[in-house]
């Protein structure tokens, strides 16, 4: 689990990151990209191409069908294509972003770990727990950094939530309600077939990661996994899970059939002295409700202004600082393992 002190360190590091990067230009970190089949892959390419910290040394997509699908994308123009072995044999490459389709994530990550590369691994961390445990053990033995692609770790709305909880602004947390829906037609639904838990696996993982940052490891997980949309497939498209903690409960939901879904994604955290609602999650809009005035905020319901940051930009800024030894990474490998274990339980696995 990630203790409150730890995520405060992370928040403080992120807040000061821009200032820390000002000054003499630093040599860019050479980064390879393995896989381009993940939903976040091209966003990661875009961010790395614009980064002041990284240069893309080479890209790789072992899946011929995926490679043919993305090869003509303008974002990839001018980038060097290599096969995985040649990419990992280049010792000038310090880090790898693994952005393949989910079923191949751990295979590629284990290869990168074996080559002693720091890894940004997109989510979720594979479809079975033992291979992820093996990856974490390899990374630990080689003293390598593993950054999971849970984007709400670097969302300013959740920065506010974490600091408010740590400062005791809303009292003792007793409940979290969160929902992250989408609206998938037949074409996108097919991509998720064969993955455990359907939408809980695909999107609920983001909500679970930030929930466990706040509450730690759940004592009990109860999944509710349904297929309710009128499509002739087996996708679990209407999902929820209840996570029970020592003194709190979290109810996380994700479905694949909600119109205008991005605008309705929400995270509500309730404490004995107040509550915070982030809705939508991107760009974050934050409402605070307090029993009494405290911490510079008035009694009752009020809007809190927070900045909006492009997805993945702060992730890779943090990744670079930690690779360079300028900051300590705030998310432990044990936290990542516990999140994946709880996620698979929420998906009916194990």
- Is 349 buried (19+), middle (13-18) or exposed (0-12) by CB count in 10 A? middle
Task: For 50-69, write each residue's pLDDT tens digit.
Answer: 999 999 999 999 999 999 99
Encode pLDDT of 154-180 as tens digits. 999 999 999 999 999 999 999 999 999
Contact 104, 38 (CB under 8 A): no
What is the model's pLDDT at position 168?
98
pLDDT at 90: 97
Q: What is the DSSP string of 191-233?
A: HHTTSTTTHIIIIIHHHHHHHHHHH-S-SEEEEEEE--SS-SS
The DSSP-derived string for 294-319 is BTTB-SEEEEE------TTHHHHHHH
Low pLDDT (below 70) residues in the chain: 1-24
Domains and CATH numbers, the chain: 17-149+314-331 (3.40.50.720), 156-308 (3.30.360.10)
The reply to whether the predicted model has a pTM over 0.75 is yes
Residue 82: its pLDDT value, please?
97
- The predicted structure's pLDDT at residue 4: 41
Q: Please give the pLDDT value at position 350.
A: 74
Strands (E), the chain: 29-34, 54-60, 95-98, 118-121, 146-148, 173-179, 220-226, 238-244, 249-255, 266-271, 274-278, 286-290, 300-304
């Amino acid at each position: 689990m990630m203790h409150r002190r730890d995520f405060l360190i992370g928040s403080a590091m992120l807040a000061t990151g821009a200032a820390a990067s000002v000054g003499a230009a630093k040599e860019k970190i050479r980064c390879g990209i393995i896989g381009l089949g993940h939903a976040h892959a091209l966003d990661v390419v875009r961010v790395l191409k614009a980064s002041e910290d990284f240069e893309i040394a080479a890209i790789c997509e072992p899946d011929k069908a995926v490679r043919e699908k993305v090869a003509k994308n303008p974002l990839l123009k001018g980038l060097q294509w290599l096969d995985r072995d040649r990419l990992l044999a280049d010792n000038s490459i310090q880090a790898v972003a693994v952005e393949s389709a989910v079923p191949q994530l751990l295979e590629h990550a284990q290869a990168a770990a074996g080559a002693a590369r720091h890894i940004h691994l997109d989510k979720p961390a594979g479809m079975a727990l033992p291979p992820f445990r093996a990856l974490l053990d390899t990374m630990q033995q080689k003293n390598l950094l593993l950054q999971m692609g849970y984007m709400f770790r670097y969302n300013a709305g959740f920065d506010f939530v974490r600091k408010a909880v740590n400062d005791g602004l809303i009292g003792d947390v007793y409940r979290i309600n969160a929902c992250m829906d989408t609206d998938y037609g037949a074409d996108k639904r097919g991509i998720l077939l064969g993955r455990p838990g359907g939408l809980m696996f695909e999107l609920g993982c983001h909500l679970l990661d930030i929930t466990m940052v706040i509450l730690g490891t759940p004592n009990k997980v109860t999944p509710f996994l349904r297929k309710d949309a009128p499509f002739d497939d087996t996708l679990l498209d209407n999902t929820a899970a209840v996570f029970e903690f020592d003194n709190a409960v979290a109810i996380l939901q994700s479905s694949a059939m909600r119109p205008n879904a991005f605008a309705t994604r929400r995270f509500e955290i309730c404490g004995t002295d107040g509550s915070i609602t982030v809705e939508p999650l991107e760009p974050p809009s934050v409402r605070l409700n307090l029993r009494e005035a405290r911490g510079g905020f008035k009694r009752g319901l009020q809007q809190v202004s927070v900045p909006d940051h492009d997805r993945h930009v702060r992730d890779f800024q943090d990744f670079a600082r930690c690779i360079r030894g300028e900051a300590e990474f705030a998310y432990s490998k044990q936290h990542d393992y516990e999140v994946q274990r709880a996620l698979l339980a929420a998906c009916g696995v194990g």
